[in-house]
Amino acid sequence: MAWVLRLFFYGVLVRLVVLFVLGLNVRHRERLPVKGPAILAANHNSHLDAMAMISLLPLRLLSKVRPVAAADYFLSNPLLAWFALKVVGIVPLNRQRRTPEEDLLAPVVDALDRGEILVFFPEGSRGEPEQLAEFKSGLARIAERRPDVPVIPVYTHGLGKALPKGEWMIVPFFVDIFVGETLVFDGDRAAYMERYRSAMAALALEEKHADWS
Amino acid sequence: MNLDVWVPRNVLWVFGAIVALLVVATLVVAWMRRGDGTGRHAELAARVRSWWVLVFVFAIAISFRRGIAIGFFAVLSFLALKEYLSLVPTRRADRRVLFWVYLCVPLQYLWVWYEWYNLFLIFIPVWAFLFVAMRMVMRGDTKDFLRAAGTIHWGLMTMVFGLSHLAFLLVLPEGKAVPAHGAALLLFVVLLTELNDVLQYIWGRTLGRHKVLESVSPKKTVEGLVGGVLSTTVVAFLLAPVLTPLTPTDSIAVGLMIGIGGFLGDVTISALKRDIGVKDSGSLIPGHGGILDRIDSLLFTAPLFFHFMAYFYF
């Protein structure tokens, strides 16, 4: 039952909103993964971020595609939790340790071991619309534990204008999605994050975007 | 649901002629690219391929029912407005204002569907103009107010008001003298406008020497402009008896108007893109760019042609 809802959600609703109401301008689509495991690591401005990226992947991969999302936010009430887990299909991630020895990244690593394609936001939160926050090192920690899993940087622009934090009404804007080249982990977490950062900066420069303030 | 073709036979014949023209264009481009596989004229080939799709979509959109055709132009207006509002700088404070701006699209086409001519004419220049200003003032943010208000209204006037004239051609009442079918008039102005674009391009590429408006659009030439306008006028003269009630003199006037108006629409959108600093308005149509790159000329020719017809013939 839930998978029918999920198929309807991503196959019809999300695609209608993302492809018609918004509209995507995708560059380097060929760099997207064709099978799992893989991580799409993107900047985060809107609830629509993950939706837009999942719309880029073919529906036959849907059972393998899941966004990594904050457990404290999405599991905060039972109805939202059911929707997030069953329909959106999130991999819930705790942002704060409850016990000192808790392995926060375990759900992500498990999902990768199941061969899933994860949408991951290294900024950790949506923050101010259309502004880049500091990338946290969680991405490097995952890459360190699963160095063979391809990590693809994805830069998006426009989704924070269409549906910023704290708003419920979607306003149509064309969205740019620029896909970067796969990053390989070389043993150094700080250097890895630096390469991710510069890859994202280079993607952002591919198009001139007007300020939004 | 009854999906009979509602357009008259002459419209179908002209579509047949367009397909023949596309076949010729496809063959010519294939001949130009013969021999080596170095990808010469790749953009030209992509452009011709896109023309096939555009002609097909347009033919399907206008052939079956008036409602479908009006809906098609509503969607076109929406996509054009969205491309415009994504391209130009907008203020964060106006996010919800833009929601109301988008709402003008279905409303404007609803007036077309109801054949409500007066409201169709004043809804955007008067009501939307005042409402948007009011809604913006209520946000209380005065920084860049005039720029934002002007930007938004310019988008509504061109992408919604201007384009909706194409749809209103479909609901024009019976003419004063000679009966005319709305779809035939629509096909006439769209075909001539697009043909004018192509002809100006071909004249410019083959004979172009002297630049015109170089600071706005560096590839435009006097030869392309004059050659395009004159050849478009010849086509208008020949095609008018097939599709329109235009007298021979009027058809020449309309041909000149579409030729010059198309050029002005083209360079106006070029000026806009140059101001913002982009080459193409989008990437929806391979070889052409975005929707604005394709409909730029129509933004001028559609209202010009419409009001010429409405004044003299309806």
Name the residue of chain B whose CA is nearest to A210's CA: B89
B45 with B29: CB under 8 angstroms? yes
Q: Do B86 and A158 touch (CB under 8 A)?
A: yes
A28: left (phi over 0), alpha (psi -120 to 50) or beta: left
Q: Do B79 and A171 touch (CB under 8 A)?
A: no
pLDDT in tens, A39-77: 999 999 999 999 999 999 999 999 999 999 998 888 889
Positions in chain B whose pLDDT score sits under 50: 1
Positions in chain A whose pLDDT score sits under 70: 210-211
For B292, the 3-state DSSP assignment is helix
In angstroms, the separation between the Cα of residue B106 and the nearest Cα of chain A is 14
State the average pLDDT for chain A.
90
Its ipTM equals 0.86
pLDDT of residue A142: 93
Q: Do B85 and A173 touch (CB under 8 A)?
A: yes
pLDDT of residue A124: 82
What does the domain layout of chain B look like in residue ranges? 66-171
Q: Do A25 and B283 touch (CB under 8 A)?
A: yes
Residues 151..190 of A with a Cβ closer than 8 Å to B: which? 158, 161, 164, 167, 169, 171-174
Other Cβ atoms less than 10 A from the Cβ of B140: the count is: 8
Contacts of A165 in chain B (CB under 8 A): none
pLDDT of residue B3: 56
Name the residue of chain B whose CA is nearest to A171's CA: B99
Q: Which of B79, B83, B277 sits opposite A208 (nearest CB)?
A: B277
Q: Which of B82, B95, B276 sits opposite A174 (nearest CB)?
A: B82
Contacts of A212 in chain B (CB under 8 A): 89-92
The model's pTM: 0.91
Please list the alpha-helical segments (H only) found in B208-288: 222-243, 248-276
A154 with A180: CB under 8 angstroms? yes
pLDDT of residue B147: 93
Q: Do A161 and B88 touch (CB under 8 A)?
A: no
Q: Can you say whether the dihedral through the CA atoms of B284, B286, B292, B297 is positive or negative?
A: negative
pLDDT of residue A42: 95
Please list the alpha-helical segments (H only) found in A31-118: 48-56, 71-74, 78-82, 106-113
Q: Which of A23, A164, A211 sits opposite B82 (nearest CB)?
A: A23
Domains and CATH numbers, chain A: 2-94+104-204 (3.40.1130.10)
User: Helices B248-276 and B298-313, interaxial angle, to 10°?
Assistant: 150
pLDDT of residue B286: 75
Residues 5..64 of A with a Cβ closer than 8 Å to B: which? 23, 25
Q: Can you say whether the dihedral through the CA atoms of B237, B242, B246, B248 is positive or negative?
A: positive
Q: Which of B83, B90, B95 sits opposite A174 (nearest CB)?
A: B83
